Amino acid sequence: MCGIVGATAERRVAEILLEGLRRLEYRGYDSAGMALLNNAGMVKVRRVGKVKELADAIERDGVNGHVGIAHTRWATHGGVTEANAHPHVSNNELAVVHNGIIENHESLRETLQGLGYQFDSQTDTEVIAHLVHHELKSATTLLAAVQNAVKQLDGAYGTVIMDQRDPGQLVVARSGSPLVIGLGIGENFVASDQLALLPVTRKFIYLEEGDVAAVSRESVAIFDRDGNAVERDVITSDLQYDAGGKGEYRHFMLKEIHEQPFAVRNTLEGRVLDGKIAVDAFGAQAEDIFKQTKHVQIIACGTSYHAGMVAKYWLEALAGVSCNVEIASEFRYRKSHVFPNSLLVTISQSGETADTLAALRLAKEIGYQASLTVCNVASSSMVRESDLAFLTRAGAEIGVASTKAFTTQLAGLLMLTAAIGRFHGMSSSTEARIAKALSSLPTKLEECMSITGAIEKLAPEFADKEHSLFLGRGEQYPIAMEGALKLKEISYIHAEAYASGELKHGPLALIDAEMPVIVVAPNNELLEKLKSNVEEVRARGGIMYVFADSKANFKSDDSMRVINLAHVDELIAPIIYTLPLQLLSYYVAIIKGTDVDQPRNLAKSVTVE
Ligand code: G6P
């Protein structure tokens, strides 16, 4: 999704801005641009395509400056064209970059056109440029003009504005889209994500909702939504930017798949001790809150939603609480019933997904007992705004298709099951079994990597297929959904997942030799029922790929390829069976030649609705 970087310094900033954009590339985008102020005034360079195209153009034109703003755009309003790429400029004097969506852009556009402003793009962002330019006719400073302008904006924005009549200063405003200020010595920076600024600073200030700030080389002045001067905490980041290299791997996604044993080990570190789960891993108040919790409402999007669906099976079977799981974009716009003592759990890799964040904020208004986020980014809005937080510690995930974030979320959610269950009648032997299964997980994941070669050999059989079906039962049903999501995200093959019991209620009609059916079949109490579903597919000429427990006794034949996995405790089977499905989608995408780490049209962190 869109990325923002800005800088004001004595040194030239074009390369700092470009490096910042490169570090945000993983989020997904379709065009990039930069505006710089120098002695000659303002220069603007924009390109459709990769940051490399922009960097080449900037180098070729020899463009630079001491103040600048840059942006990667993921199109929402207006097609992917150079004219729609940011920055947007008003009267060649004032430039704006913006993340988010201005919902009242049409009426503002009409008003501004009436005032004589000409629009060069189809974007909602361009209204900010002209609106601030207009406000600056009556306001005495750029800061005051931005403060007046944002009062007229509906929707979400993280925006940075610079003006050649007031060079040296960046004015930033945040409402609904994250922005961070990076503090240097005699220079300051802004970005939509601290990752972009790690080469230049480790000191950051996170703006809060409604904040507007004036950032110059020597000072940062922050004002809240009412215009009061406010101090915000300065944090020192210890984030490791390991995205710089893919190491021995061809893609970040493959590296991140292989990092899973290590990532899960990190998730568990110091939190599973002597057969018990450390409840305070969820926050200092966790014990008090979990004792009162009677119901869990999970809210998430995408892959994180699938993690939530697995957690529902665990929580209801083991922890003695009821649980609902809902997609954030649905939950936030419907009137829902709040059960007494209901804990709202958001699950998010980024902690910034707009719909999930909005659902969290809504939950505070409608009477939830408390909120917990299971999240990978300690500095994210969700962590900062939730009562409790469990950090998954997966490390930076760069591939747009989520892998290690998912398996670490699952590890965290199994811990949550034990942590809540302890106060609701779960026996200490069940907690000890969960602890033991979790402790074995990193090694089991490592061992599971040995199937990589077998999966690589299977992948060519999918390359010419247009559709596929994934089947699972019980807590493996959401794993089948996640497998289908991975395949469609990066190989662009249409993939659907079904709970295998639903097969005869529709999808069976689709089965033929051109529709591969992928089955996730661990050795649990549903195995015999799953075997019947497999026979239903076989009888209709379907070709199956079965990922099965070695004890489940599936045999390869003309209509079925069996890939055996070592037997594991069924508690952790959903986490283990995720891995072959990730590898399958990866190797199919390689054969199809897609952009694995940045698949078309997708974004890593969806900060707009
Ligand atoms: C995007 C990403 C997915 C991710 C989803 C939710 O769609 O491409 O990989 O699962 O957002 O993101 P979150 O950061 O909230 O987990």
Task: Verify that 46 and 58 share a domain, yes or no.
Answer: yes
Report pLDDT for 242: 56
Residue where the block lists tokens 């004595």: 10
Residue 391 identity (one-letter amino acid): L
Quick one: 277 and 383 in the same domain?
Answer: yes
Residue identifier of the C-alpha nearest atom 4 of ligand 1:
302
Q: Which candidate, 34, 48, 154, 174, places its Cα nearest to that of 105?
A: 154
Same domain for 253 and 265, yes or no, is yes
**CATH assignment at residue 19:** 3.60.20.10
The three-state secondary structure class of 372 is strand
Q: How confident is the model at residue 97 (pLDDT cuts 50, 70, 90)?
A: very high
**Per-residue pLDDT tens for 108-140?**
999 999 999 999 999 999 999 999 999 999 999
Q: Are residues 487 and 397 in the same domain?
A: no
Assess whether 284 and 180 both reside in one domain: no
483 Cα to the center of ligand 1, angstroms:
15
Same domain, 529 and 443: no
Answer with the one of 449, 481, 499 that is the final residue of a domain. 449
Question: 206 with 141, same domain?
Answer: yes
Q: Within 10 A of 12 (CB to CB), how many other CB atoms are there? A: 16
pLDDT recorded at residue 301: 97
Amino acid (one-letter) located at 260: Q
**Residue 37 resides in a domain:** yes
**What's the average model confidence in pLDDT over 266-275?**
92
Over range 504-530, report the average pLDDT: 85
Q: Is the CB of 304 under 6 A from ligand 1?
A: yes
- Please identify every residue annotated as catalytic: 2, 604
Provide DSSP, 122-185: S-STHHHHHHHHHHTTT-SSHHHHHHHHHTT--B-EEEEEEETTSTTEEEEEEEBS--EEEE-S
What is the pLDDT at residue 490?
A: 94
Give the confidence band of 241 by pLDDT, cuts at 50, 70, 90: low
Residue 504 domain flag: yes
Residue where the block lists tokens 């962002």: 125
Residues 326 and 231 in one domain: no
> Domain residues for 389?
246-449
Cis bond leading into 87, ω under 30°? yes
What is the Cα–Cα distance from 252 to 112, expressed in whole angstroms? 44
Q: Is the CB of residue 381 below 6 angstroms from any atom belonging to ligand 1?
A: no
In this model, does residue 245 exceed pLDDT 80?
Answer: no
- The average pLDDT across 297-307 equals 98
- End of a domain among 449, 471, 501? 449
Q: Are residues 128 and 29 in the same domain?
A: yes
Among the candidates 449, 471, 496, a domain finishes at 449
How sure is the predictor about 244, in pLDDT bands with cuts at 50, 70 and 90? low
Write the burial class of residue 286 (CB in 10 Å: 0-12 exposed, 13-18 middle, 19+ buried): buried
Mean pLDDT of all residues in 416-436: 96
Confidence of residue 27 (pLDDT cuts 50, 70, 90): confident
Distance, CA 353 to ligand 1 centroid (Å)? Answer: 7
Q: Of 242-246, 460-464, 548-552, 591-595, which gets the smallest average pLDDT?
A: 242-246
pTM for the structure as a whole: 0.78
Give φ, ψ of 523 to 5 degrees: -90, 80
Q: Are 293 and 341 in contact (CB under 8 A)?
A: yes
Q: State if residue 392 touches ligand 1 by the CB under 6 angstroms criterion.
A: no
Cα(178)–Cα(180) distance, integer angstroms: 7
Residue 408 has pLDDT above 80, yes or no: yes
Judge whether 376 and 408 are in contact, CB under 8 Å: yes
User: Does the pLDDT at position 70 exceed 90?
Assistant: yes
Q: Indicate the helix (H) or strand (E) that contains 95.
A: strand 94-99
- For residue 573, the domain's CATH number is 3.40.50.10490
Whether residues 104 and 38 share a domain: the answer is yes
On average, the pLDDT of the chain sits at 93
Domain contains 60? yes
pLDDT at residue number 378: 87
- Into how many domains does the chain fold? 3
Please give the pLDDT value at position 240. Answer: 65
Tell me: do 227 and 306 sit in the same domain: no
Distance CA 205, CA 397 (A): 22
Collapse the DSSP code of 37 into the 3-class scheme (helix H, G, I; strand E, B; otherwise coil) and give the result.
Answer: strand
Q: How confident is the model at residue 508 (pLDDT cuts 50, 70, 90)?
A: confident
Same structural domain for residues 27 and 148?
Answer: yes
Tell whether 241 is covered by a domain.
no
Q: 356 alpha carbon to ligand 1 midpoint, in Å?
A: 10
DSSP label at residue 494: E
Compute the distance between CA of residue 553 and CA of residue 544 in angstroms, rounded to an integer: 15
